[in-house]
Structure 1
Amino acid sequence: EYLEYCRARFLQREMWWKGLETNTLDECIENSLRSVDQLCFSSQYYMLSTLHVNAIVYLVLGIVMMARAKYNAFGDPAMSSIIMIILLCTIVVKLVLTRIAMIVGLWSIRHEKRRWHDKIHADGEPQLDQWSHEQSTGHDEYKLEGRMTSDAFRYKFLRYNRSWIIEQLPNMLTPRMTQRSRPYIMNQLARILGSIDADVSSDSEADDAPDFDVPAMNASTRAMIRMWYGEAGRLLRLSGLVEPIIQQSRDDVCQFCLGRGSLRVETCFSVEEMNRQFIVEYPECKDDIDQVQWKIFWQRTQKYSTICMECLQKRAKEKYEGIIDDDRSSDDADSLGDLVTSELDSVKSTILSTWYSQARASLNG
């Protein structure tokens, strides 16, 4: 993605040589890498790299030749003139090659990027009778721009267009923008999401809802939450890795009714079960997930079944009816148990009353 972005920047440049553009350095990048980013890793960048490498090689070869010949450059009276001739030749060769490249069309700029220059030249200078109109229009635009940039207008805009702004956030907030202006964006996002009037109540909230306090967590509770959070994140990541494999395993027909509409794939083993078995076979992958090993293990162990929506709804209905039948049978068993208990209680009371009367008669006799 970064290379595609660099290619687009290079194609949309406004100067023939990308390095001559001003105010195009990215401040989010380190100072030592800004010039490299400005050249966008284009053919101009690789040409400069080639020239620098050749210059270094020729410099080393020249020093080696001078050392072997025991040549003293500082004692040669013609050294200054040689240096001047080399510099002059370099300048002339550079100008000639640059002119040839422009004539041939090497690294030419697209004409669409320069249309705004042509439009300015085509409009020409305004006449005297147009100054009054331009002055009034410019003043009105200046006043309108001043109102739009005021804080009151911004707050009203955020207040009345909050839902629309939230819907447009995924299109407006690019990764580059969030990285460059993260503190400012977080502040504005907090204003958008948190600027709710105190006198406006939500319909989804109950007025008599209990106000629970934030519980105080100790070290063990925090450790349990971290462990649960890590396990949940691991399962989500594992599920995302094998989601394409699951979709590719879907058959053309349902395995129960041979239907072809609204098909979906079901796995015979859940992700939790597969994760436990994967950790048992590969203990070294308990903390760090090996994506390739996990996909191979999934394809080797997992089994699938293709089912349509009608069969799925039918199975869910049968399962629901089975649960109701189980509840009814359990209720009948409970009532029968109560009946037996009541009968046993009456028998016990009769035995106790008989034993009490006999004991009393024996005591009186």
Structure 2
Amino acid sequence: IDQMCFSSQFYMVLTLHVNGLLYFVLGVQMMIRSNYNPFGDPLLTILVLFIGLNTIIVKRSSIFLGSCCNIWRTRHENTAWHSRLRSDSTAYSNVSTEINALSHDDYAMDQKITLDSFRHKFLSHNRSWLVEQLPTLLSPRTLSRGRPHLIGQLTKILNKLNQEISSDSSTDDVAVTNNFKSLIRFSAPTRRLLKWWLRKAQHRLKMREVVQPQLLRARGSFCEQCLSQKNLLVEPCIVIEEMYDRFQKAFPATNFNQVKWKHYWQKHQKYRTLCLECKSREKEEENKDRIDKSFISFRGIEADRSSDWGAIYLNLDSEDMIRYWYTAAKTSLYGKSGRARNKM
């Protein structure tokens, strides 16, 4: 039994083993009831040889038919990561014999993995994926074993972040708040609207934070569209806002109950696993459909000028808010100096 890891093969072999024990016990009982002495039977040796020969023939024919029908095949994309482990007898042999025993591709893959440049490039390109997989990689045993090293690393990271935050926040935050206050003076309805929007955003972040472990656990092992195993992302089939509206209708309460929200999410939510390429392709198709629909609606508005709404007038608060948004967008795109016009 080689690396079954409690899969269906493990239970199949366990079933065959139990059936063999059961048949052996039944055979012994039948010989005892009939007072049969196997050592006095002259055909016992011939019978054992015949059964052993039939077993070898059936085994080899089954393996040959299975290999012809391609029953056993590797489902992974990168087979070099799943090369066969070396046996214990050759574990302490010479390095040259091990390299000759392995294929050239496996040896080249091992050499690339051990390079520092490959490790740094892997960390830089898969940083977000590694952060998502930290709960599964850091088991309680590894945490208890490497606790002093992890505490030291986290202390260095937090000290560095605190220094950067303390140096940047003192200048940037003051400049942003001064510009914001100088451009916009909110009225009472606008302040109430912004406070309501802030409460909704905080509540939405809290809802997502509560169900984030379930989202991470629901990630599949391959993409549902292209069956790829690289850059996998998991997303809920029902949007979190729609799910929370259903939750409020089912449990109309004023306070937010995290336990009920978790149980409701786990019971009614479904997930799908996509790779990064399929997700980007799906977003491009959605954007294309949205642009086509907006173009069709724009043509309909141009065709029907008689039903126009007329001029729209803005108050001072709306004009200040739009002016501030425009200035912030232009600054983030082209910098504070702006962009010069193209000369005709």
Q: TM-score range by the shorter chain?
A: 0.3 to 0.5
The structure with more radius of gyration: 1
Using the size of structure 1 for normalisation, the TM-score is: 0.33
